[in-house]
Amino acid sequence: MDGARALDGIKVLDLSRVLAGPWCTQILADFGADVIKIEAPGHGDDTRSWGPPYLTGPGDTEDEKGESAYYLSCNRNKRSVAVNLADPRGADLIRRLAVEADIVVENFKVGGLARYGLDYASLAAINPRLVYTSITGFGQTGPYANRPGYDFVAQAMGGLMSITGEKEGAPLKVGVAMADLSTGMYATVSTMMALRHAERTGQGQHVDCSLLDTQISMLANQALTYLVGGTSPGRLGNAHPTVVPYRLFDTADGAIVIAVGNNGQFRGLAAVLGAPDLASDPRYASNGSRVINRDALEARIGELTATWPSVALTEALIAGGVPAGPVNDVGEILTDPFVEARGTVHRFTRDDGVSVPSVAFPGKLSATPAAFRRMPPRLGEHSRAVLNEWLDLKDGELDSLAAAGVIADRADVRETMHEA
């Protein structure tokens, strides 16, 4: 797309890896920011090897299996520069890039970048307008600041697993890394707030986002259930703690979700199921009374839905204004007509003809939409181009840095991986 993009001209130095940080920077890149992904020569982002599956093509070898599906999910629209931070010359390159940047996003352990002179204080001293976003497991302060953290740990410590799973079953994590993804989203919003302030005042700031802070925030109504009522909510399987009926119901050939959010929808449900007595029963007249009499109501609804085929019941409920839907697997939703109609999946084509799929940013902006300009980069693919463009380094200096192992370009990376 050749039209305007909301973040055209914004330069982002991405020192993050795995998911929360890359999710944040991918969103910035989707809206036009020039995101430079800094990676270690030789192996790069951890998620490059988090497979199978890997997307392979005719140029890939046993040593270099291609990009993992995990890596591809959160790194489009970026350029990869492979720099050895442990070499003082490499750290100096990052400092020079930071002078040119508007935003830095990093997810090193607390204090991990200070040894290279790449912490917030060091970079703010040379670029006062810099927005510096740190993403960690437990934040820059507090009793757990020095602990390593992953999404799974945050889901467990943050209460999410205690409310996920069947009532009598074990705690369960969500099937995707929700703490990581939510933190990436909050980091994006926080970064944009800070960027707006920097554009107005010339003053940057340090943005501190943590998985555990975010996971606690994402408890939403469940957190307030405890803070208001003093009792921790528990697991209810597919049922809703305060809305009834709002769960999975068995049908004659499977199961569907029925989600009744108000009294009008409940009357519609009763009509579709041929049970008008449910709508007139005082035990079920309001949502509050339906919650109190949940067991009896859901048992009766279950008896009625069990006589219907799933598709027929779903269509009848939707026609009656009752929210309902099938329980799709991942393949079923990604081949649903909705996906094509909404442009939910975007496909790049590599030079070797390999199709590279990507799930699009979901927000549809009428004037400055997301644009998918670059497929997720190969490790070190843009090292020379970016250092020439941002820092005006010439071929001789780039050759010298590459020979010393300070940087690696695409050819250097291939050689390193093959030698290993």
Active site residues: 180
Cα–Cα dist 378/356, whole Å: 12
Query: For tokens 């007249």, what's the residue?
Result: 285
SS3 311: helix
Cα–Cα dist 194/27, whole Å: 16
Q: For the beta carbon of residue 249, count every other beta carbon within 10 angstroms.
A: 21
Cα–Cα dist 91/11, whole Å: 18
Residue-wise DSSP of 218-252: TTTHHHHHHHHHSS-----TTS-SSSSSEEEEE-S
The answer for 13, left when phi > 0, alpha when psi is -120 to 50, beta otherwise, is beta
Locate 413 and state its tokens: 């990376």
Cα separation values, 106 from 18, 78, 109, 384, Å: 11, 15, 9, 22
Q: Are 7 and 99 in contact (CB under 8 A)?
A: no
SS3 288: helix
Q: Are 293 and 283 in contact (CB under 8 A)?
A: yes
Helix axes 383-391, 395-403, angle to 10 degrees: 130
